[in-house]
Amino acid sequence: MEVRSRFAPSPTGYMHIGNLRTALYEYLVAKSAGGKFILRIEDTDQERYVAGAVDIIYKTMKMVGLKHDEGPDVGGPYGPYVQSERRAIYKEYADKLVDLGGAHYCFCSEEEIEKQRKACEEAGIPFKFRDPCKKLSVAEARERIAAGEKYTVRQTIDPHGTVSFDDCVYGHVTVETKTLDEGILLKSDGLPTYNFANVVDDHLMKISHVLRGNEYLSSTPKYNLMYQAFGWEIPTYVHLPPIMKDEHNKLSKRNGDASFQDLVAKGYLPEAIVNYIILLGWSAKNDEEIFSMAELEKIFNIEGINKSPAIFDGEKLKWMNGVYVRALPPEKFHELALPYYKDAVKRKVDLEVLSKCVQPRVNVLNEIPEAVDFIDELPEYDIDMYVHKKMKTTPEIALKALEEAKNVVEAMTDADFASMDAVHAVLLAVPEKLGMKNGQFLWPVRTALTGKQCTPVGAVEAVYLFGKDESLKRIEKGIEKLKAAQA
């Protein structure tokens, strides 16, 4: 039988990380088996609906390379793929389920239910809704409905017995039916709840593998009761452990945790984000960690999914993003870096050369502005910086280095600035001539040019980028500072 999985998000805003991982796994389960991946929009809660959220879903899926075979925008044989457009279908199946004894009509108001709940609370006993409408005959109930009375459809569960099911990740789970709630299937606005819509849609859309968060583990028996009542085949379940922010809290949008969009805005690459979150709850069972989507489509398997929660580690994401950044073709990196230079670098320098210096040195793109902030203006710096133990520099050596650098740079011709190699040749000749260590000369020069303890450029790159005039200005400033300190 063909493997068919579905991603069924609610359009409630940005795509959070947990959702994205679920989508990824769903996609990979289907693709690794040569199956189909379906997108379905679950918009049955009109109160939570956020305009534009569906577009965010499309955009995100495109960015991470998840292509759905069926969905609202691409169509398919089992549409419509938006739940709010399937009203009539849910009503039909709800009535059918009532006929089959798996559900009943309920005319209780929310106030009445609340009253029962309060009474239980006061009595100190656990609340379980006892629905007076269960006593109504179907015919009687339908008369009231025909008369225009508001109603809901509730699941009917026989409290005697147990239900069990097999989950690919969690194994065999058994629950006593008396612990199950007879939840609402069809709301008084005529739209289904998740509990019902999922069962109906997954069946009608021929979904073979249901992947979802493990918060559904304990309600899965209720769904199976419905499948059974309808006489439908139960899908293969794959429940997923949560992604945590820390030991106690789930990663969630409500806590203000980063969404996929937030990470992209910070300069994380979609490929890196995907690679990282795939690993939160799944492993290839070998030592490999870097995977392209194409590779994942080949090697992903359900057996590699874990059952315990995983804490989202921003540090490792950063590292992994760095791996992807470094692997970028230089032109591509330059293109991505350009927006970050826009406000940070006003001076006219060769940005392509700058990119070559920066690329191996950043993990996340938003580190760029700070890394290059010495270019427009020389920061105020302390002359202690000229003393570097490892480079074996002293204020005296630094001064000598700078004075020599001044002479050399002054004498440099256009030809000397023609390439990085040329600059390199000129500057490296100096310490040799003076009998200094390279560092003793180059460290002071870089310090004078950048005013920073560490920079993505060395002395050679700095001189090349700044050109003759600016280099001289900064060297002279350094000489001044050192002289002032000596006096």
Site for RNA in 299-318 (CB under 7 A): 304, 306-311, 313, 315-316
Binding residues for RNA, total number by CB under 7 A: 88
Q: Any contact of residue 275 with RNA (CB under 7 A)?
A: no
Which of 63, 100, 173, 434 binds RNA (CB under 7 A)? It is 173
Rounded distance between C-alpha atoms, residue 386 and residue 449, angstroms: 12
- Active-site residue flag, 253: yes
In the complex, minimum distance from the CB of residue 114 to RNA, in angstroms, rounded to a whole number:
9
| Residue at 439: amino acid letter | G
Within 8 A by CB and 6+ apart from 366, the residues are 266, 267, 340
Contact (CB, 8 A) for 35 and 294: no
Q: Any contact of residue 355 with RNA (CB under 7 A)?
A: no
Of residues 68-107, which lie at the interface with RNA (CB under 7 A)? none
Rounded distance between C-alpha atoms, residue 131 and residue 100, angstroms: 19
Neighbours of 144 (CB within 10 A): 15
In the complex, minimum distance from the CB of residue 280 to RNA, in angstroms, rounded to a whole number:
5
In the chain, what is the straight-line distance between the N-terminal and C-terminal CA atoms, in Å?
Answer: 87
Q: Any contact of residue 126 with RNA (CB under 7 A)?
A: yes
Q: Which stretch binds RNA (CB under 7 A): 68-76, 109-117, 228-236, 337-345?
A: 109-117
Closest by CA to 401, choosing from 387, 415, 390, is: 387
Q: Any contact of residue 319 with RNA (CB under 7 A)?
A: yes
In the complex, minimum distance from the CB of residue 487 to RNA, in angstroms, rounded to a whole number:
28
Which regions of 219-321 does DSSP assign to beta strands (E)? 236-240, 243-244, 310-311
Extract the tokens encoding 328.
């970028």
Of residues 366-385, which lie at the interface with RNA (CB under 7 A)? none
DSSP 97: H
In the complex, minimum distance from the CB of residue 447 to RNA, in angstroms, rounded to a whole number:
8
Which of 24, 54, 184, 365 binds RNA (CB under 7 A)? It is 184
Rounded distance between C-alpha atoms, residue 104 and residue 299, angstroms: 46
Q: Compute the residue count for the chain.
A: 487
Angstrom distances, CA of residue 186 to CA of 6, 88, 141, 151:
22, 11, 15, 9
In the complex, minimum distance from the CB of residue 317 to RNA, in angstroms, rounded to a whole number:
8
Q: Which stretch binds RNA (CB under 7 A): 26-34, 130-138, 175-183, 202-210?
A: 175-183
Of residues 205-244, which lie at the interface with RNA (CB under 7 A)? 214-219, 241-242, 244
Of residues 27-56, which lie at the interface with RNA (CB under 7 A)? 42, 44-45, 47-48
Would you name the residues annotated as active-site residues? Answer: 253
